[in-house]
Chain A
Amino acid sequence: EVQLVESGGGLVKPGGSLRLSCAASGFTFSSHSMNWVRQAPGKGLEWVSSISSSSAYIYYADSVKGRFTISRDNAKSSLYLQMNSLRSEDTAVYYCAKFGVWLSWFDSWGQGTLVTVSS
């Protein structure tokens, strides 16, 4: 069974930094592309970033480009999101999600971790 478990969320001040992690199990992590998707309180889904299986290809939403960095460690079956220069509008539940096929659909989701940016 595929399991994706996010961690690292919390309360941070505007301008601060936070690093999210996603521990994957139940599938061959190194063979699959991964993503971060977020959802602001009471709002819809917003794609944040995608990374290919070997980290060769990475995409970011314009709203986070230059501030967030996605990475992965295939040896540890883990996905990361380094978030810098955080803004109040980054407040959201952040989901780790697995692509079924590169740049396609999200076939598995974690339970999410809440990031709150507030002074």
Chain B
Amino acid sequence: QSVLTQPPSVSAAPGQKVTISCSGSSSNIENNYVSWYQQLPGTAPKLLIYDDNKRPSGIPDRFSGSKSGTSATLGITGLQTGDEADYYCGTWDSSLSGVVFGGGTKLTVL
């Protein structure tokens, strides 16, 4: 059971928008920065969003992050088949003194 809660799967058609939620608590999301990772099949995770809503260089602005209270959200617009992947949220947990991840969300672009 993951400390952060994500939906197991989401799906949408090419060109559409999708959001992935990540729910936590005051010891993690509410008081620490959230990051998001994309893991394409058979590859290592890749940083998509850091500090709740910042994109590393090279990440298109189709990807966005937001946070409110104990929940964070990853948004992806203009969906492409190449976006099919597992997406993970992560943050520091001050009570556990460790990094915690969500269980991951599998995105299917129909």
Main DSSP-derived SS at the A contact region: strand
- What's the least CB distance linking B107 to chain A, in Å? 14
Query: In the complex the two chains form, what is the Cα distance from A44 to B51 in whole Å?
Result: 21
Main DSSP-derived SS at the B contact region: strand
Query: In the complex the two chains form, what is the Cα distance from A109 to B100 in whole Å?
Result: 17
| Most chain B Cβ neighbours within 10 Å, of A59, A60, A106, A107 | A106
| Residues of B in contact with A (beta carbons under 8 Å apart) | 2, 33, 35, 37, 39, 43-47, 50-51, 56, 86, 88, 90, 92, 96-104
Extra inter-chain contacts (13) besides given A107-B47, A112-B44, CB under 8 Å: A44-B2, A45-B45, A45-B88, A45-B90, A47-B90, A59-B97, A61-B98, A95-B44, A100-B50, A104-B51, A105-B35, A106-B37, A109-B44
21 A-B pairs with C-beta separation under 8 A: A37-B45, A44-B88, A44-B103, A45-B37, A45-B88, A45-B101, A47-B101, A50-B98, A50-B99, A59-B97, A60-B98, A95-B44, A100-B47, A100-B50, A104-B33, A104-B51, A105-B47, A105-B90, A106-B90, A109-B44, A111-B44
